[in-house]
């Protein structure tokens, strides 16, 4: 392993004799293996923010946190790992926020004296290039249910993943280039050692993630390093994606080559790329000494849900198998997979093809642009929904005996259930539709959804959805009556559908019958657009997405 000693390590190495005191209802100070943390209590919930779960140097595996003296203030959320600040960045002037190697987590629990509570560990989304642990608060969930909710920060972008050959001088784990996954693994190790001090059960941990975080959880299911890290897994809108290390090296070297030229190391991009693809120790030194801001600016701004500009989750043969999801060795834990029925809608609205029409209110009615949006929303949603749940479940169930449960959220199908003055009439069950159901105080989507989640039906749907999550955490089954929610199998592709009117929850069990080819066939048969219009939309809008592999046969 590369040996480096940082100032923080030197100043932080402290011998401590720790007296562990389990958390009580009115005790916000908890002693971890690295030191004491002072949390806060608010509205019946105890919380601790910005708690270190690991320590890392650049492009190395994380270790246990550096110990600290005294009591660490854990009352204020942290800034997360370094990433582009989308609110301030432009194409020619990127601005970053956060800190390099911010391996911290947030913990929420009900203000009770209960111990051995089930633990949900949430991995945020953001294409593994952006995002924060505060994406989703666990406060409303743990207040309603006797549970602990943990959300983590991890290394992002070109600091969380890097496949270049010159960095492969460490352990097998480090040589994988999957540093963000190593961070997540370290967070589980920390929780096994410390969560009991907060009243949690280290033997009942559920891994959960949304979007990129969901894809990370899917990757954990084929990674041997995560064996015994968690008891159940929940995947919110995350399908099966991995990258070839060799292909990723080509893209990383191409993106970083301009920096090499700017720094006067090589005269042109072609020569710089060739140098970056070598195993020269000087390349490793260069990458380790580049500012985090410059690396993030070059590798932190890929658009939307496209993987081409930032390949990650490498099939290295150690952290992830070389066969990727074609492996026959999956972790044999119960899995709950969820998706919205219109997963592409939010991405469609923000795509350059539709952005101005959306701003001008032209995506409804009978105009050509409105018809085009309905086309990509319908079929992009079906492809994305298929990718998130059915395709993954079909592949997994061949190699596992533990049950897989599937859920479609179809909220918004009833027009009376949504705020008709909001954009929810265009979005319906968008990518992230579950967030305000699980975190009922969440306002991330308020601009789009208006008052939709304030209806009686929406509140009942939130109760039903949360109850399913909690039951799965505690019993490994998402329903009180097991006959109401049968597992997805190769023979019976059972999917639970949850929706709501403005007054009540609606539930049903369906049998999946879609496939990539069947969706493509429907697209060809669709008469609302000409063949030329469909070709253009597939090329300009739908192609290159996580879910768009079936479109290669268009």
What's the token pair of residue 384? 């994305």
Q: What is the pLDDT of residues 483-523, one digit of tens each?
A: 889 999 999 999 999 999 999 999 999 999 889 999 999 99
Query: What b-and-e string marks burial along 517-549, b requiring 16 or more CB atoms within 10 Å of the CB?
Result: eebbeebeeeeebeeeebeebbeebbebbbbbe
Amino acid 305: pLDDT = 52
Q: Which residues pair with 507 in a beta bridge?
A: 498
- Gap between the Cα atoms of 230 and 456, Å rounded: 35
For residue 422, what are the contacts with CB-CB under 8 A and spacing of at least 6? Answer: 448, 449, 450, 451, 452
- Gap between the Cα atoms of 286 and 485, Å rounded: 54
Confidence band of 9 (pLDDT split at 50, 70, 90): very low
What's the token pair of residue 208? 């959960």
Do residues 81 and 156 make contact, with C-beta atoms less than 8 angstroms apart?
A: yes
Confidence band of 27 (pLDDT split at 50, 70, 90): low
Please report how the helices 352-359 and 368-385 are oriented relative to each other, as an axis angle in degrees rounded to 10: 130
pTM score, whole prediction: 0.93
Please calculate the CA angle 402-408-413 and round it to the nearest 5 degrees.
170
Q: 37-214 in CATH: which number?
A: 3.40.50.1820
| pLDDT score of 17 more than 60 | no
Do residues 452 and 430 make contact, with C-beta atoms less than 8 angstroms apart?
A: no
Rounded to 5 degrees, what are φ and ψ at 533? Answer: -65, -45
Q: What is the pLDDT of residues 172-188, one digit of tens each?
A: 999 999 999 999 999 99
Picking from 543, 108, 70, the residue whose alpha carbon sits closest to that of residue 303 is 543
| pLDDT score of 151 more than 70 | yes
The percent of residues above 70 in pLDDT, for the chain, comes to: 94
- Gap between the Cα atoms of 535 and 554, Å rounded: 9
Query: Containing H/E element for 350?
Result: helix 345-350
**Which single residue is written with the structure tokens 């090499």?**
260
Q: What is the pLDDT of residues 373-410, one digit of tens each?
A: 999 999 999 999 999 999 999 999 999 999 999 999 99
What's the token pair of residue 540? 């300009």
Q: What is the pLDDT of residues 100-122, one digit of tens each?
A: 999 999 999 999 989 999 999 99
- Gap between the Cα atoms of 205 and 134, Å rounded: 20
> Average pLDDT of the chain?
92
Amino acid 413: pLDDT = 87
What's the token pair of residue 381? 């949603």
Residue boundaries of the structural domains of the chain: 37-214, 334-516
- Gap between the Cα atoms of 231 and 233, Å rounded: 7
Amino acid 367: pLDDT = 93
- Using CB atoms within 10 Å of the CB of residue 264, give its burial: 0 to 12 exposed, 13 to 18 middle, 19+ buried: exposed
Amino acid 90: pLDDT = 83
Query: Containing H/E element for 373?
Result: helix 368-385
Do residues 443 and 135 make contact, with C-beta atoms less than 8 angstroms apart?
A: no
- Gap between the Cα atoms of 413 and 397, Å rounded: 30
Q: Which residues pair with 395 in a beta bridge?
A: none
Q: What is the mean pLDDT of residues 326-335?
A: 97
Rounded to 5 degrees, what are φ and ψ at 378? Answer: -65, -55
- Gap between the Cα atoms of 78 and 307, Å rounded: 28
Q: Is 395 helix (H, G, I), strand (E, B) or coil?
A: helix
Q: What is the pLDDT of residues 439-480, one digit of tens each?
A: 999 988 888 899 999 999 999 999 999 999 999 999 999 998
- Gap between the Cα atoms of 152 and 216, Å rounded: 13
What's the token pair of residue 135? 């994406």
Give the sign of the dihedral formed by CA 415, CA 419, CA 422, CA 424: negative
DSSP-H helix ranges across 116-206? 139-144, 157-160, 172-175, 179-194
């Amino acid at each position: 392993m590369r040996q480096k000693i940082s100032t923080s390590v030197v100043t932080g190495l402290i011998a401590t004799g720790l007296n562990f005191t389990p958390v009580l209802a009115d005790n916000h100070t908890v002693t971890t293996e690295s030191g004491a943390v002072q949390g806060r209590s608010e509205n019946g919930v105890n919380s601790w923010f910005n708690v270190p779960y690991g320590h890392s140097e650049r492009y190395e595996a994380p270790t246990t946190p550096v110990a600290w003296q005294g009591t660490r203030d854990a009352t204020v959320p942290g800034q997360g790992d370094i990433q582009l600040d989308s609110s301030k960045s432009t194409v020619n002037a990127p601005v970053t926020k956060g800190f390099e190697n911010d391996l911290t987590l947030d913990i929420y629990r009900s203000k009770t004296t209960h111990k051995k509570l089930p633990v949900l560990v949430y991995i945020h989304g953001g294409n593994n290039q952006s995002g924060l642990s505060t994406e989703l608060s666990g406060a409303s969930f743990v207040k309603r249910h006797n549970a602990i909710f943990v959300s983590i920060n991890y290394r992002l972008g070109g600091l969380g993943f890097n496949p270049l050959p010159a960095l492969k001088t460490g352990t097998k784990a480090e040589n994988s280039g999957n540093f963000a996954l190593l961070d997540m693994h370290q967070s589980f190790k920390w929780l096994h050692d410390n969560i009991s001090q907060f009243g949690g059960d280290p033997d009942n941990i559920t891994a959960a993630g949304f979007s990129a975080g969901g894809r990370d959880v899917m990757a954990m299911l084929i990674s041997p390093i995560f064996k015994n890290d968690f008891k159940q897994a929940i995947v919110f809108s995350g399908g099966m994606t991995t990258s070839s290390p060799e292909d990723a090296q080509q893209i990383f070297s191409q993106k970083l080559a301009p920096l090499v030229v700017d720094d006067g190391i090589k005269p042109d991009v072609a020569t710089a790329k060739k140098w970056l693809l070598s195993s020269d120790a000087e390349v490793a030194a260069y990458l380790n000494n580049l500012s985090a801001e410059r690396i993030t600016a070059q590798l932190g701004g890929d658009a939307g849900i496209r993987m081409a500009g930032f390949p990650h989750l490498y099939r290295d043969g150690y952290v992830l198998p070389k066969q990727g999801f074609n492996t026959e060795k999956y972790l044999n834990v119960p899995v709950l997979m969820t998706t919205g029925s219109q997963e592409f809608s939010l991405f469609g609205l923000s795509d350059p093809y539709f952005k101005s029409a959306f701003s001008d209110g032209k995506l409804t009615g009978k105009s050509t642009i409105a018809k085009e949006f309905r086309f990509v929303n319908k079929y992009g949603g079906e492809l994305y929904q298929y990718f998130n749940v059915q395709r993954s479940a079909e592949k997994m169930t061949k190699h596992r005996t533990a049950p897989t449960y599937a859920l479609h959220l179809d909220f918004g199908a009833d027009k009376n259930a949504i705020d008709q003055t909001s954009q929810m009439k265009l979005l319906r069950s968008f990518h992230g539709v579950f967030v305000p159901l699980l975190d009922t105080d969440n306002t991330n989507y308020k601009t789009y959804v208006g008052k939709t989640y304030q209806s009686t039906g929406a509140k009942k749907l939130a109760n039903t959805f949360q109850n399913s999550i909690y039951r799965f955490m505690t019993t490994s089954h998402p329903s009180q009556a097991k006959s109401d929610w049968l597992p997805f199998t190769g023979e019976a592709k059972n999917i639970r559908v949850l929706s709501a009117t403005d007054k009540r929850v609606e539930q049903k069990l369906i049998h999946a019958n879609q496939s990539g080819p069947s969706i493509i066939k429907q697209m060809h048969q669709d008469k609302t657009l000409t063949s030329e219009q469909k070709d253009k939309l597939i090329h300009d809008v739908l192609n290159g997405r996580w879910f768009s592999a079936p479109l290669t046969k268009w």
